[in-house]
Structure formats: C-alpha cells, structure tokens
Amino acid sequence: MSLLEDKTPKRTPISELGEFGLIEHLTKNISIQNASTIKGVGDDCAVIDSGDSFSLVTTDMLVEGVHFDLTYTPLKHLGYKSVVVNLSDIYAMNGVAKQITVSIALSNRFPLEAVEELYEGIHLACKNYNVDLIGGDTTSSTSGLCISITAIGEASKEDVAYRSGAKEHDLIVVSGDLGSAYLGLQILNREKQVFEANPSMQPELGNKDYILQRQLKPEARKDVVELLKSKTIVPSSMIDVSDGLSSEILHLCKNSNVGCAIYEDKLPIDFSAISTAEELNLNAATCALNGGEDYELLFTISQEHYENIKNDPNLTVIGHITDQSSGTVFVTKDDNHQPLTAQGWNSIS
C-alpha cells in the first residue's frame, strides 16, 4: 500500500447512517452545561426549566425537492403545513404552543407575490392555533426554497410527556387515522407523472379530497392535548407520528426500555385510504405503519384510564406495552406475530 493510500481520509456515506443514525452520531458526545436544560437532544422538543413551568423548543426544516414538490403543493398550503409540523412536536410533549420564528431561503425565481402567498399560509396557521410569529430570517438560495421554523411552547412540570416513560402493561393509543397522508402523496405523484407525459391530461382526483388534504394541509392535534387534560390523563410517554407509526413506536420502546404488541385489526384507517390503497395495489396496513406525515399523537397510558377514553372517536387503542425481552411485535389479522421494523420516512438517502 502506498503512502498516498495510507493518508486517504475515510469517507462514510451519510446514507449508511440514515437520518436518526446521523443525529445520534453527531449528538452522542454532547454534555449539558446548564442546570436549566432538563432535556436536550432525543425527544420531540428540548425542555428548559423556566421556573414555574417548562419551556419547550423545537425546530424543523423543509427543503424543496426533499420534503415538498411545488409542482403540486400550493404555497399557501406549504406555509400552513410548515408551521403545523413544528407545532405537532410541542403537542407531542403534552404542551401548549405559544410562538414561532420563521426563516426562509429562496431563489430569484420566486417573486414577491409568491412569498406573500407562502406567508398567508403561515399567518393562517398562527391564527388557527393561537400562536405568535415573533421573528426569523431571510436569505437567498442558489436553488429552490428552504423553510426553517422554530416553535416555542410550554407545559407544566407535572404534565410534560417524554418518550421515555412507557411502562409494561400500558395501553398504546393513537389519535385520528393513519396512512392517509402517504396515500395522498402517492396520488399526487401519480398525477404528476401523467401530466409530465401528457400535459393535456386532466388529473383524476375524484373522491380523493380527504387524503389529499391530509398530505397538503395536515392539522396538529392540539385538541387531543386539551382532551387529555379535561380527563386528567397524563400520558406515560408520547410522540407525534411524522415518520410512520412503526418508527415512532420503536422510538418510544427504545427510550422507555420496553417492548410492545401492535395489532393490525386495531389500526385506524379511513375508508378513503383503504380504497385508494386497493386502487394502487398497496396494503393499507403497511401504509398505516410506514407512511408517515400523519401528525397524529401516539401515546401510552395506564390501563386505569381506559374507561375514560374507550368511547372517544378521536382515540384508538392499538396495542400494549410489554417487557423489553418480548421485543416489538406486530400481530396480523390471522394472529401471525412478526417483528415490528422501522420502514418509515427517511429524509437522508
């Protein structure tokens, strides 16, 4: 081996680690310097002791060509969604969102009117969720649009929910329905390909309003946090479903040092999602497990709270927490037990 070869630096492709592996690699040596930092990296939000309560801080970045396609994403919808995906992290800590900052980088292909349309969506989300836009930054970009939003919220010290509190025998609960956003994306991509092949063709979007809305204009589940509070239920663990149910439940299990059993026949899937999956020759349960971008809340509660939630149409018990040695298991409709694996959205490829 030559001296030149000896000095060649190692080059590890980021794709070998994936998004979560990269985050873990970059943050493994972080040490906390301030006593007010209660929780740093590793949950939906950072948690800071503000005296009587905890402050919650989260940030997320949306990049054109990676997280959104302006071929079929209206800028107003994009502005709205970019706020919602950040507020969802606040609610995933059982908190209340209060403020956001917005930073954007854009190329010269965007006129003022386009930026105004983007901000119409941002302002609408702030109004709907009672959140203040308090600052941010703008800069130029040599290619495309990039949006970075930081959301700030608060939670009482008794109510804050982490990913790490799930206990054996806890019930696993999810809000809303799963898989619709992913299937909406599949329809949009299908129609984009049809348009590119023949621009005179009209899109076939009949009966797809719900799943398209779930993709283009999702809502964060502030109402679920309010519902739990009204029932005096504090989740033992909590996370939002942004990267797919399977990925999120594995996060809860890893952080809580537990296992789980998830049941296929309990997964809440909207009828329009089921019919679209059949149309596209996809398995609806697989879409619900791995699709991502649902922005529902996934949480665990003690069995003693079951009576308080069992009849609520917004909440579905989909499984239970087991001991760590039992592993993470997906139970199919025919009672076949399979290892639950993370196949959800990964923005680094």
Tell me: the pLDDT tens digits for 171-224?
999 999 999 999 999 999 999 998 888 887 777 787 899 999 999 999 999 999
Domain 37-156 class, CATH top level:
alpha beta
Q: Is the pTM of this model over 0.85?
A: yes
Within its chain, how far is the Cα of 156 from the centroid? 23
Q: What is the DSSP letter of 29?
A: T
CA distance 289 to 332: 12
CA distance 224 to 305: 15
The 10s digit of each residue's pLDDT in 302-335 is 999 999 999 999 999 999 999 999 999 999 999 9
Which residues, 6+ apart, have CB-to-CB distance to 232 below 8 Å? none
Q: Give the CATH number of domain 171-339; options: 3.30.1280.10, 3.90.650.10, 3.90.10.10, 3.30.70.80.
A: 3.90.650.10
CA distance 174 to 151: 23
